[in-house]
Amino acid sequence: MIVEELTMTEFEAGLERTRTVLLPFGSVEEHGPHLPLSTDTLEAYEVCKKASQRLPLFVAPPIHYGNCRSTACHPGTISISTATLKALFIDIVTSLRSHGLRCFVALTGHAGGAHRMALQDAGEELIGRFDDIFIAVVSEFDLAREEGRGLIETAGDSHAGEIETSRILHSHPQLVKGSAPREFPFFPTGILVRNKRHYWPGGVWGDPGKATAEKGARLEELLVSKLVALVRELERESSSATD
């Protein structure tokens, strides 16, 4: 059930089927010269929507903004603070809880360290505040880390490279503008740099040239299956606690 498409009465009826909601988080962030700024959001939202076709689930509207540090100097990146991100998650979950939702899965397509930690901190604060809710916070990278290795040829690929280019070639091919050179940034160890683009000029971390739509379809299927398994596990935890 796609929340933004539901009427009030449809939402209310949906509560008879499930008390679980998926919360897709993304970013507005550079993804090289060939992928859209919404790449992270598109990926997370697509996986959530596909998961809702397999299980009765609510899918909340995606959060399009995230905390983006390493790409902050690249054109098009719009970063929000970790405090804002954390507050957004807390406010959204609190509001949805007031309508009867009890299981919350935050799936982030953006895998920045500070971004993920803000979501994790918010989740910890929420379960400390409310003893009747259950929360999972996970990134797409976490879900596909092990099983996805056999599909990807580029060691260390992570941002706008083989993985993400394959994903968008599959789900939104009309948004892919060619390809980009293989690139791996090098940031000085321990030194906080202002001009991060100096160390990462192309905005790619991996090899887009090895991307295919077929790989993207297989990766998406893997992620959907892993997300469905995570939801089922969280719902079991919820059922056990209320029995």
Would you mind telling me the total number of residues written for the chain in this entry?
Answer: 243
- pLDDT digits over 75-89, tens only? 999 999 999 999 999
Region 95-109: what's the mean pLDDT? Answer: 98
Q: What is the pLDDT of residue 243?
A: 59
Q: What percent of the chain has pLDDT over 70?
A: 99
Cβ atoms of residues 143 and 199 within 8 Å = no
Q: Report residue 137's pLDDT band, with 50, 70 and 90 as the boundaries.
A: very high
Cβ atoms of residues 108 and 119 within 8 Å = yes
- pLDDT digits over 19-71, tens only? 999 999 999 999 999 999 999 999 999 999 999 999 999 999 999 999 999 99
- The helices-and-strands tally (H runs, E runs) of the chain is 7, 4
pLDDT at 153 over 90: yes
Spell out a b/e string for 92-131, using b for 16 or more CB atoms within 10 Å of the CB, else e: bbeebbeeebbbbbbbbbbbbeebbebbbbbbeebeeeee
d(CA 108, CA 25): 4
Q: Which residues contact 150 (CB under 8 A, 6 or more apart)?
A: none
Q: What is the pLDDT of residue 145?
A: 76
Region 157-162: what's the mean pLDDT? Answer: 95
pLDDT at 199 over 80: yes
pLDDT at 111 over 90: yes
Region 95-121: what's the mean pLDDT? Answer: 97
Region 222-243: what's the mean pLDDT? Answer: 90
Q: What is the pTM of this model?
A: 0.95
AA identity, residue 162: E
Q: What is the pLDDT of residue 115?
A: 98
Q: What is the pLDDT of residue 238?
A: 86
| Mean per-residue pLDDT over the chain, rounded | 96
Q: Quick one: CA dihedral 105, 109, 111, 114, positive or negative?
A: negative
Region 162-170: what's the mean pLDDT? Answer: 97
pLDDT at 148 over 90: no
Pick from 94, 88, 85: nearest CA to 116: 85
Q: Which domains does the chain have, with CATH numbers?
A: 3-242 (3.40.50.10310)
